[in-house]
Structure 1
């Protein structure tokens, strides 16, 4: 999807788009093994200095309550694509109109701890889009300056051993927000895609 009346992008946003679209991932893709499909939107807000929009999930959620996440969720049988899933979920969770998102592409899918194969979809969001979090799903919205979010030194590895399996997760903080697990891993994947 593309924006009908796209205002000029800042130099920082144009640089991000160029680097995202022209650079191949540093490491070969790892095949995700999750059986059920899901997608998340990685919303880049087109400020002069772009930001990454994240949510903190409601404390009343059944799974991942209170955790920082991208808007997204499980694919419905009627969804024609995983890009559609990501845009539908972003609309349901934070009221981002699907036709306002300029989709740049997708990252390699990742496995969630709950058995989903999650496809991250990268999209540009105009500055003038009004965001309204769905109180049933989202406790709050916050933005991280994109340059800061993509700084490798912000992320600290932690190896978790459970039921004879080892898994590496990453931890990060931004102001009072704790970003970790799949969300931190997706941000790192994006950072690797665009390079330094």
Structure 2
């Protein structure tokens, strides 16, 4: 389904009417959370980061701000907001959390909970140079276009896994990030 004129109100209505359904069970027990920052505009955007090429894990990959839950975090939502502040300077009080998607397993052994939040369009985000190489915004309508995601089936440790692949400008969006965006598109009622 093509969504060229998806407004923020359309997105919010769809998200709130179609509550997230429980996903498949996850295997990992270590908890992590990511923020899916939707930029509040009439034609909303999706804020993404490109991880630093110097990181040990997932170097250079497109990702949402997020990471492991710390003992000091009151909740998964608090962890996602803390990580977003650390990575791209999004103040937690500026995020209107509208819900969460079902958790997904990461290849690094975490159960990752995606937290969906609306952020103001005029935030002066700054990338934490140690963790983030770039911050960019993708039109939400484009991000939610299911036809842009292409499956790749791989076999690892005797199990089959489906990865999703996509490009936006010069950014390669794949793996868990592409899977989460695709899940968000399905959540708000777009059909494959």
Common fold: TM-score over 0.5:
yes
User: TM-score normalized by structure 1?
Assistant: 0.92
1:182 aligns with 2:165: no
- 1:21 is paired with a residue of what secondary structure? helix
- 1:114 is paired with a residue of what secondary structure? coil
The match for 1:85 is: 79
User: TM-score normalized by structure 2?
Assistant: 0.93
The match for 1:113 is: 107
The match for 1:156 is: 150
Looking at structure 1, the residues matched to 97 and 156 of structure 2 have their Cα atoms a distance apart, in angstroms, of 37
Number of residue-to-residue matches in the alignment: 185
Looking at structure 1, the residues matched to 42 and 168 of structure 2 have their Cα atoms a distance apart, in angstroms, of 20
Once the two structures are superposed, residues 124-183 of structure 1 have per-residue CA deviations (whole angstroms, 9 ceiling, x without a partner) of 001121100100000001111000100010000000112211111000000100000000
The match for 1:173 is: 167
The match for 1:129 is: 123
Looking at structure 2, the residues matched to 28 and 37 of structure 1 have their Cα atoms a distance apart, in angstroms, of 17
- 2:7 is paired with a residue of what secondary structure? helix
The match for 1:19 is: 14
Aligned equivalent of 1:192, options 166, 169, 186: 186
Alignment of 1:39-54 (within 5 A): 39-54=33-48
Any conservation in 1 of the 2:144–2:182 contact (CA below 8 Å)? Answer: yes
- 1:113 is paired with a residue of what secondary structure? coil
Aligned equivalent of 1:57, options 51, 60, 64: 51
How far apart are residue 188 of structure 1 and its match? Answer: 0.7
Q: Which runs of 5 or more structure 2 residues have no equivalent in the other structure? A: 1-5
How far apart are residue 47 of structure 1 and its match? Answer: 1.9
Q: Which runs of 5 or more structure 1 residues have no equivalent in the other structure? A: 1-10
The match for 2:3 is: none
The match for 1:5 is: none
How far apart are residue 28 of structure 1 and its match? Answer: 5.2
Looking at structure 1, the residues matched to 38 and 156 of structure 2 have their Cα atoms a distance apart, in angstroms, of 34
The match for 2:69 is: 75
1:32 aligns with 2:59: no
